[in-house]
Structures are given as C-alpha cells and as structure tokens.
Chains A and B, each alone.
Chain A
Amino acid sequence: MPQSMPVLTELTPELDAFINEWKDKPGNLIMVLHKVQQVYRYIPRDVALTVSKKLDVPLAKIYGVMTFYHYFKLEKPGKHIISVCMGTACYLKGGEDLLKELERLLGIGVNATTEDGQFSVQAVRCVGCCGLAPALTIDGEVFGCVPVAKVAGILEKYKG
C-alpha cells in the first residue's frame, strides 16, 4: 500500500461501542459526529475517515454534513476557548473592541487558534447576560462588563 494512505484511527472503546449501537439506525451520522466531537473536541480527518468506513458512508457526505453545521469543528481547538459575545447588547457595548484587543494580544482573529495551541477565539451570539455587556466567556466561565484594558489581565489567569 502506498505510504500516503491515511491510516484508520483506532477509536476509543466508548466511541466504538457508540458507533456499533447506532450503526443501523436512521440519522446515525449526526449522532456519531456529535459523539466524536465530544471525545476529541473536534472531528479529526482520520477519525472522519474511520467513521466513514465503519458506517459505510462516503467521506464526502460526512464532510457535507460537517461543514454545513457550524457546531462541528474541523480544526483542533486551543486548550482554552474564548467566546466573545456578539449579541445585540454586547455588540453595541463594544464586543468588537474586545475581539480587536484579543487579536492584538494573541495575534489571531475570529475562528483561529494560537500557534502554541493555548487559545481559540470565536464570536458567539448572546451568552444570556445582556445586563453584563460586553461579555466574554473562557472555557464556560463568564466575564461581564469587560473593559478593553482588562482583557490582558483576564488572559494571564489562563496562560501556561
């Protein structure tokens, strides 16, 4: 076999069992992809290929689904996920300035990950605390009423 053949990934027993359980049920692809993302935090290409073989679904179809739904991530996310709220209130209160500050500090824009794999930045719609605008969350922890000047300090906590 040529060297460039992608290698089928050995799946975790949990994932393998999940796939076997869902194998013959309709609508299984979305369920399996959710599970894969839960396990790996994203959907690695080799795992997608393995799923394609196990479910006997063409890889092209899997990518059609994966790229249609924003929820599915194709790239490995950083250790810490920074979500900047772009809901109406946060947007008006300067959510975009927070993104700009993050770009200045981390060198990455929206939907990107720092080279050292520490941080990913994403823009999200309303995190449900409009009273605290502008807000951002890091790994689920909410920071409200964030002035631009405080962003660097918040990040410090997560570095290293």
Chain B
Amino acid sequence: MNKMVKLKINGLPVEVEQGATILEAARKVSVSIPTLCWHRDLEPWAACGICVVKVEGSPKMLRACATLVEEEMSIITHDAEIVEVRKTVVELILSTHPNDCLACPRNMACELQKLASEFGIRGMAFPQRLQDIPQDTSTTSLVLNPEKCVLCGRCAKVCQGMQDVWALELLGRGEKTRIAPAADVLLNDSPCIKCGQCSAHCPVGAIYEKSEEHIVWNALRKPDVHIVVQIAPAVRVAIGEAFGLPSGSIQTGKLYAALRRLGFKAVFDTNFTADLTIMEEGSEFVERFSKPTKEAPLPLITTCCPAWVDYLEKFYHEMIPYFSTAKSPQAMLGALSKTYYAKKIGIDPDKIFMVSIMPCTAKKFEISRSKEMSSSGRKDIDVSLTTRELSRMIKSAGIDFNNLPEEGVDTILGEYSGAGTIFGATGGVMEAALRTAYHLITKRELANVDLVDVRGLDGVKEAKIDIDGTEVRVAVAHGMANISSVLDKVKEALAAGKETPYHFIEVMACRGGCVGGGGQPYGADDKVRNDRAYGLYTDDGNSVKRCSHQNPSIIKVYEEFLEKPLSHKSHELLHTSYTPRPEYRW
C-alpha cells in the first residue's frame, strides 16, 4: 500500500493515499468540487478550470482534478471568490455555446446544463460568439456538432487513449480551436470506427448517436408493415438506468413487454442468435483447431463487434484470413427473420421491417457494411437503434416501464442459453464458444462451465483450457487500445515461424464489452460496467441451459432450416467477408 498523506479540506482532517488528487481527497470527506473536463475513465488534464481550489500558502488557485495532495496541505474548496471564479468559467463557456437546450439531444442529460443550473446562471454574462462549423453527419452512426463543443477534450482523449483510433483531435488554437479529424476531413473519411465512445463521454450535445427513432415510429404506424424487433444481450442490464433503476438490474421481461406495447408484432432476442453465432463460430474454431490451413489459419479471431471489424479492416487487414467469417448475432437474426421466420409464419419478407436494439452506435454501421448484410435478398435489418434511443421511445409512448408486467419472448427467434446472454460482456463470447467447442470436440459436456479467467475488466486476459489433454490458449482484449499488444504478439510469432501464442482471440472495441457500449445510457464508468456484467452473469447463472448447443430452438432451427453448422445455407445467410479499407479517404 502507498504511503498515507494527511491533509485538511475546509478544516476537515482527511487521510488519503499518496498520489491521490485534491478532488479525490475532497470526495472522501463528502465535499464535491464541480468538474467538467474530468472523467473517471481518463487521466486528468485540467482543461476547463472549473475545479479550482485554494491551497493555503499558494498565491494562485490550483486545479483540484490534477493537483496531487501533499502532507499538511490545507485546502479551501468553497468560498465567495472561488465560487465566483467557477461561475465565470461557466459563463465564459456559455458565451461560446448555443442556448437551444430545448432542442438539444442532451437536454436534461447535459453536464453543462447541470452546472449552469447549480451555479444559478440567470442570463448571458458575455456576448455570444459561436463557432461557425457545420455539423458532420457523414457516418451512419454519429453526429458531430462542433458548434456545441466546449473543448473539454474528452472525446479526443477517449478516441486516442482508450481506443487508439485517433479519428478526433483538437485542431487549431485560440478561438479557432475545434474538434475534428485530421485535415478537417469528414468523420466518415477518417479512421473513425463508429464505436461511439466519444458520444458516451461527451458532456454536452457535441457528439451524439444519429437518432433514427422517427423511422421506427413511421414503420410502427403503417398497418401493412410486419414490424419485428430484437434486443441485444447488454441492453437488458442497462436500460433500467434510464428509468432510475440500478445499473445491472435485469430488465428482460419488462423490455419484451415495452416493445409489444410500442407495437412490435414479434419480439425476438439477439441472445438466440448469439447462441447461433457460437454454433457457427465454435464449429469454425474446431475445424481450424483440428486442421489449420493457409486459408483458414489459427488463431481464430472473433468478429461480433462491428467497431472492431471496422478497425481490423483499416489497421490489420493483413490479418483478414484469421477473422471468423461468422456474422454477428444482430446480423444473423436479421437474416433469419426475413427467411426462416417469414417462411414459418407465411409472410412476404418484403413486408417485414426488422428493428434491432443495440448498446452500440457501430451496429448502425454494421447493417449496411457489406453486401452480405442483405443475404435475405433485401436489407436484413432495417434500422438499428441504441439503448438510449429505445428508452426515449418508451418514455414518449407513455409506457410506465418500472411497473410493467414481465412478458416472454417470441421463442422462434428468442429462446436463449446462458452462453448467449454473456455475449454482452468482455470475455463472454470466448466463454460461450469454449463451452460449445469442448462439446464439439469431446462430445461431452464441461463439468464446470464458469470460465472465470476470461471475465472482468483487465484489458487483456489470457487463459489455457484443457480439452482432452490438448491445451487451448485463448486471449481476450477489450478497449481498442489493448488489442495491438495481442495481435503484435501473434504477428511476431508467426513471422518467426513459431507456433501461435493463442488459438482463439476475442476482441470487443469498448471497455467492458457491449455493457460499456457507446449507445448505452450515459454515465458509465468501471463500477457501472461491472454492475452490468454482473447482471449478465447472473442471467447466465439462472439459466437452465448454460451452453448454446443445448438451446432447443437452436437445435430446431438447424433441423428445420439450416441443416448443420457451416452448411451451404449457413454460409449463405450467416457468414460474411472482409475487405481492406483505407484509414483516410480524400
């Protein structure tokens, strides 16, 4: 343990570990110092100046977020002068910020609005000078509105540090400073992978998900449209937060009920096709593991995460042969809804309108990323909404979410095993795949299906699994910046003619996996990510069937329609391909 440091905050004695900041020390004695640029996920860099405090013996005010505590420090966090300075900082920010809060996507969920309210701002203290930079709506997933940017820098820090994508940077200086991709190209012509972590970390409405609720509302109102919906694993443990419920509480039954009340004719669960993904990807793994070839080599790398797919096509395209060709669960459900389901209920697939509810902004990109996303002969998925968009729809429909009865799923594309539900957490795809791979190889069931080594928030997790005397080495990485160390290790070994360090690698772009997705309710940090993951593992633990291959509806869909994993039909509907893409286009 670190040395402890004794200091005083507003006269209150406090003891904190050496290396703690004044901000952290203040929280320990229930003193809250306002912040704006600071975020728990990121190293402080003292951009905004709202957290200034006085330190006895120092002639100037110091920033609490970035100043480390020292022995015997005596700190004043609140007096008339400090509050006045902070208020001026807010007023200056407001002078460059449009005040059309009522029409802002972050209305009622904006950190600047909250500060303005807390400081009792009742007018514009300075004349307004707004940046005249147009909105960037070039991507399928995100809207960048530099006019609303407060230059806190969080999005750039996330994009560069956590994600190692470097799509966003603060360009220019002084009043011309702006957040933009290099060379001021459009976001869609930049390395942006649409993960949406920028939107999840933006304190205001400067970057947000491209809202498509209106398209879904229109489809819901058309009587001749057979509108159906699927919900992703991670949505059920996060949406409650939008209704004041604790993070991680499992809302599956209420979600099904809410979706039916919104008017969806059938409610499906992406967990079902998560199980199907495991059947396909697990079989792919077993095939490669028993006989790796040049075209289908090891390690096999998962591709359920569309932001990761975008990243690999841009930054690691020389490794395309290693990527699983299995589509993501979202894409598989889309394909099945307009083929298998349409046939079963005897409806023209052109009349089906498939909506997916995802924790993710990149899923909006996935549904049109390649021609295989129209494997049913038309767009397999019509609209992909984020958790945030769905929660707004539920509210605007007057649905009292918290008091809804629990309902069941439409089982034809809805029944799921515990393996399907943990897809939403980092390590979950790997754990689910190994449960089934073990069975495919040995024809027996794993005695203990809980593979805890691949769970949790460590950036890179490694595990070795013994399958009948053969060692299977796996790695799991999440948070895009953590992937290069894993892949570079593989590349190095292969280049040196050595055996691959891993046989199977799982990658998810967002920290924590989909539970920490860029389309989830605001305010995620590691505690929230852990809570949500815990919810999924609880859902798994409560399941009667813990493995994908045991799911009766999965067995049935193969019997009735797909024949067997990696069949011709499976390849036609459930698999995809990858192509190198440039980081920049101009």
Give bound CA distance, A27 to B182, whole Å: 20
Q: Which stretch, B123-131, B164-172, B519-527, touches the partner chain A? A: B164-172
Contact across chains for A59 and B160 when beta carbons are under 8 A apart: no
Contact across chains for B580 and A1 when beta carbons are under 8 A apart: yes
- Contacts of A38-75 to chain B: CB distance below 8 A: 45, 48-49, 58-64, 67-68, 74
Q: Which residue in B166, B172, B173, B585 is a CB contact (below 8 Å) of A59? A: B166
Contact across chains for B586 and A45 when beta carbons are under 8 A apart: yes
Q: Which of A2, A64, A68 has the most CB of B within 10 A?
A: A64
Give bound CA distance, A4 to B583, whole Å: 10
In terms of DSSP, what is the predominant structure of the interface of chain B? loop
With CB as the reference atom, state the residue of chain B lying closest to A62: B182
Give bound CA distance, A62 to B584, whole Å: 14
Contact across chains for B585 and A60 when beta carbons are under 8 A apart: no
Q: Which residues of A contact B167 (CB under 8 A)?
A: 60
Q: Which residues of A contact B170 (CB under 8 A)?
A: 64
In terms of DSSP, what is the predominant structure of the interface of chain A? helix
Give bound CA distance, A37 to B166, whole Å: 24
Contact across chains for B585 and A63 when beta carbons are under 8 A apart: no
- Contacts of B541-586 to chain A: CB distance below 8 A: 580-586
Contact across chains for B160 and A60 when beta carbons are under 8 A apart: yes
Contact across chains for B182 and A60 when beta carbons are under 8 A apart: yes
Q: A6 interface residue, CB < 8 Å from B? A: yes
Q: A149 interface residue, CB < 8 Å from B? A: no
Give bound CA distance, A79 to B437, whole Å: 68
Q: Which of A60, A67, A68 has the most CB of B within 10 A?
A: A60
Contact across chains for A5 and B582 when beta carbons are under 8 A apart: yes
Q: Residues of B within 8 Å of A, CB-based: how many?
A: 20
Known: A45-B586, A60-B167. A68 touches B172 (CB 8 A): yes
Contact with B along A1-24 (1 / 0, CB 8 A): 110111000000000000000000
Give bound CA distance, A62 to B182, whole Å: 8
Among all A-B residue pairs, the 6 with the closest Cβ atoms:
A58-B166, A60-B169, A5-B582, A63-B182, A59-B182, A4-B585
Distance of A118 from chain B, by nearest CB (Å): 25
- Contacts of B180-229 to chain A: CB distance below 8 A: 181-183, 189
What is A's interface to B at a CB cutoff of 8 Å? 1-2, 4-6, 45, 48-49, 58-64, 67-68, 74
Give bound CA distance, A1 to B313, whole Å: 11
Q: Which residues of B contact A1 (CB under 8 A)?
A: 580, 582
Distance of A1 from chain B, by nearest CB (Å): 6
Contact across chains for B171 and A63 when beta carbons are under 8 A apart: yes
Task: Given contacts A59-B584, A63-B169, list 7 more A-B pairs with CB under 8 A.
Answer: A4-B189, A5-B582, A60-B182, A61-B166, A61-B169, A63-B171, A68-B173
Contact across chains for B580 and A60 when beta carbons are under 8 A apart: no
Q: Which residues of A contact B166 (CB under 8 A)?
A: 58-61
Give bound CA distance, A68 to B581, whole Å: 29
Q: Which residues of B contact A4 (CB under 8 A)?
A: 189, 582, 585-586
Give 9 CB contacts A-B under 8 Å.
Answer: A2-B585, A6-B584, A49-B584, A58-B166, A59-B166, A60-B168, A60-B182, A63-B183, A67-B171
Contact across chains for A2 and B168 when beta carbons are under 8 A apart: no
Q: Which residues of B contact A59 (CB under 8 A)?
A: 166, 182-183, 583-584
Give bound CA distance, A5 to B579, whole Å: 13
Contact across chains for B172 and A67 when beta carbons are under 8 A apart: yes
Give bound CA distance, A4 to B452, whole Å: 45
Q: Which residues of A contact B181 (CB under 8 A)?
A: 60
Distance of A23 from chain B, by nearest CB (Å): 19
With CB as the reference atom, state the residue of chain A lying closest to B580: A1
Q: Which residues of A contact B585 (CB under 8 A)?
A: 2, 4-6
Give bound CA distance, A47 to B3, whole Å: 50
Distance of B168 from chain A, by nearest CB (Å): 7
Q: Which of B172, B181, B584 has the most CB of A within 10 A?
A: B584
Give bound CA distance, A61 to B183, whole Å: 10
Q: Which residues of B contact A68 (CB under 8 A)?
A: 172-173
Contact across chains for B183 and A48 when beta carbons are under 8 A apart: yes
With CB as the reference atom, state the residue of chain A lying closest to B167: A60
Distance of B393 from chain A, by nearest CB (Å): 35
Give bound CA distance, A60 to B181, whole Å: 6
Give bound CA distance, A4 to B586, whole Å: 6
Distance of A139 from chain B, by nearest CB (Å): 27
Q: Which residue in A2, A62, A64 is a CB contact (below 8 Å) of B582? A: A2
Give bound CA distance, A1 to B580, whole Å: 6
Q: Which residues of A contact B172 (CB under 8 A)?
A: 67-68
Q: Which residues of A contact B171 (CB under 8 A)?
A: 63-64, 67
Give bound CA distance, A63 to B169, whole Å: 8
- Contacts of B502-556 to chain A: CB distance below 8 A: none
Contact with A along B334-363 (1 / 0, CB 8 A): 000000000000000000000000000000
